[in-house]
Structure 1
Amino acid sequence: MAVVARSVVVGVDAGGTASKAVVVDETGAVLGRGSAGPGNPAAGGPAAARAIGSALRAALGPAPATVTSGVVGVAGASALADPAIAAAFAAEWEALGLRCPMRIAGDAVTAFAAGGDWASGAVLIAGTGAVAALVEGFEITRVADGLGWLLGDEGSGMWLGLRAVRLAARRWRAPLARRVAAHAGAATADDLVYWAQALPPFGALAPVVCELADAGDPDASAITTEAARRLVATLDELEAPGAPVVLAGGLLVADTPVRRGVLARLAARGATVGTAHDPALGAARLALRSTAQATTNAAFDTAFRGSAHRPGPRRSQ
């Protein structure tokens, strides 16, 4: 007897660290997951498309399925204007046998969709970088920061790490400086300056800063407190008081001092807050909505009411 292919949709969260894919059926039930390497085309070029394809291949598995829609949330989506990168993505869809529309969306949109059952509101992302976006009808209408670590990304992991290195260079005997020096393999302040000139991934120090802040180190606490203040200031640049806010990115999903500081500031103004624990599922939510299955979409949205507000795991990044 012939096996009937099941109709499914796919969602992908493709970032600078990893690509994560999820397959769901028409009821929103998760049928498969897959992960692969970095999927940011702005940083990885055509290799990002191959990583996303690998994640999708693992999520789809060997069982026959008809993919009716797909959404890929990508950091650096504008890079698809490059013909070589666009061709690489088209080649991956063809290799996977995907003949349905595969929408490329900004990662802010898919993160927002993962944070609650709202169609409009604000999303605040703080991971390696930091950005805030106003979303209306699942479309970005305004953006604040997201300018990169040299010009902005205030409150991000890169910002935390760079602040820690600057403090260590000036106050070599501080406890925070000792941890930074150990991370850098620096025996002297001059060694640290030399290390920093090579522009290492300063964001790797963010867990160190968060750990020390939780342990009561005053310098680390001052840095994380200022990070929370700057992130909320970035959010305020959207000029959307009263809008629901979705928190996303490692610093705001896990139980870090930065997240707690942001939550305290938002609670003081009575904001409604959700957390984007699974942006790949948010992408699948958008893909499902595009299939025009109104009843199913409503049921899937309802599921977010119970899942989007649970606390994240306690960790430093």
Structure 2
Amino acid sequence: MPLLLALDAGGTSTRATLLDPTGRCIAYARAGGGNPVSSGLEHASSQLGLAAEGAVASTGAAPSDVGPVLMAMAGMSVNASTDWISGPLKNRGFDGPIRLESDLLATFFSGTWEPDGYGVVAGTGSAGIRVRSGLVERSADGLGWLLGDVGSGFWIGHRVARAVVAALDGRTGPTALTALLLEDLGIPATGELVQSGRLESLRLATDALYRLRPVELSRFAPLAFAARDDATAKAILADAADALADLFTAIASPAVTGPLVLGGSILAQEGVVAESVAAAAAGRVTRMHQVPDGMVGAIVLSLRAAGVDVGPEVFDRIVTSLAALR
């Protein structure tokens, strides 16, 4: 059997791992954002190609030595056309079949080899899945910043920005978030009023915030955790905690009691948000795992697509050999 290539394509970075059919990871490489939804097809295909090429080049193998290529990414149907990436990969020498998989399923299988369980991710966006027999049986949210992504980095960051603007506008009381946000934006805190009768710092902050793409508001989510003792920040985090607990409840079923795998920067933070999800899952799951990304799961999915049975021994081999490469 030829070598396998697994890619975990995120909006910020792409990870690629070259492996053999036993689950031994041979090489690992990174590139920029490879998600076509957030980065565009041209940029995403370029970064996926760079990551794939980087993983193979470090071993002395040739792209033609690689067989199936599996890509885990958000926002793409597993039945979607792969024409946008097959051409660029073939131009680099990769001519094996390409398979798309859900990034949520890859995140789930980054924490367990077991076929049943749950995955909840809260990073820039948020979503949850129930997995049965290795397939997504139920999913919730992942609907994007406009319609969903409750409790996510965007969701929290948006509320931080709104809270600071309201405080500067005099519509609410002071909050520790104000100084943190203004510092992040490089805006001096001043009580000076401009001709419109507003604070100069409010005018500058408003202009700076409107220059950002909506999803970029997620960069302010860490401010809520940094000021978690502030009443406003505490309320924002409490609302996020409730929203993510409700997200788990939406996917939970008495028929599935496997592990719960948590992913994303928001759930990696200690405190009320992660604790709320854990409380909602108590008695419904066998255990919980926190994972940094979906790379291990993309490898698991690539092996299973190639007909390899991934049990505890193979899973441990994947985790151990990948850790040695990172």
Provide the TM-score with structure 1 as the length reference: 0.83
Percent of aligned pairs with the same amino acid: 29
Aligned residue among 2, 8, 23 for 2:3? 8
**Are positions 1:301 and 2:283 aligned together?**
no
Residue 171 of structure 1 aligns to a residue whose secondary structure is helix
- Alignment-derived partner of residue 55 in structure 1: 51
Unaligned runs of 5+ in 2: 169-173, 190-200, 322-326
Q: Please give the root-mean-square deviation of Cα atoms over the aligned residues, in Å.
A: 2.7
Provide the TM-score with structure 2 as the length reference: 0.80
- Alignment-derived partner of residue 220 in structure 1: 233
The alpha carbon displacement at 1:228 in A equals 1.9
Map 1:69-88 to 2 at 5 A: 69-78=68-77, 81=80, 86-88=82-84
- Alignment-derived partner of residue 324 in structure 2: none
Distance in 1 (alpha carbons) for counterparts of 2:272 and 2:294: 20
TM-superposition CA deviations, 1:141-185 (whole Å, max 9, x none): 322111211221111000111111111122233211111122234
TM-superposition CA deviations, 1:198-225 (whole Å, max 9, x none): 3441101112222222xx3332233223
Unaligned runs of 5+ in 1: 1-5, 308-317
Contact persistence 1:108–1:133 (CA under 8 A): yes
Map 1:155-170 to 2 at 5 A: 155-170=151-166
Distance in 2 (alpha carbons) for counterparts of 1:304 and 1:121: 20
What is the identity, as a one-letter code, of the residue corresponding to 1:114? S
Structure 1 runs, 4 residues or longer, greater than 4 Å off: 79-82, 302-307
TM-superposition CA deviations, 1:224-280 (whole Å, max 9, x none): 23212211211211132434221112222x344365324542464463212233412
Aligned residue among 128, 134, 147 for 1:132? 128
Larger radius of gyration: 2
- Alignment-derived partner of residue 279 in structure 1: 294
TM-superposition CA deviations, 1:20-65 (whole Å, max 9, x none): 1112223322211111111111122222111111101111125226
What is the identity, as a one-letter code, of the residue corresponding to 2:68? S
What is the identity, as a one-letter code, of the residue corresponding to 1:73? A
Contact persistence 1:22–1:281 (CA under 8 A): no
Residue 31 of structure 1 aligns to a residue whose secondary structure is strand
Aligned residue among 88, 92, 95 for 2:91? 95
- Alignment-derived partner of residue 182 in structure 2: 181
What is the identity, as a one-letter code, of the residue corresponding to 1:19? T
The alpha carbon displacement at 1:305 in A equals 9.1
**Are positions 1:233 and 2:254 aligned together?**
no
Distance in 1 (alpha carbons) for counterparts of 2:293 and 2:147: 29
Distance in 1 (alpha carbons) for counterparts of 2:26 and 2:42: 28
Distance in 2 (alpha carbons) for counterparts of 1:56 and 1:154: 33
- Alignment-derived partner of residue 261 in structure 2: 246
What is the identity, as a one-letter code, of the residue corresponding to 1:126? A
What is the identity, as a one-letter code, of the residue corresponding to 1:155? G
Distance in 2 (alpha carbons) for counterparts of 1:236 and 1:267: 8
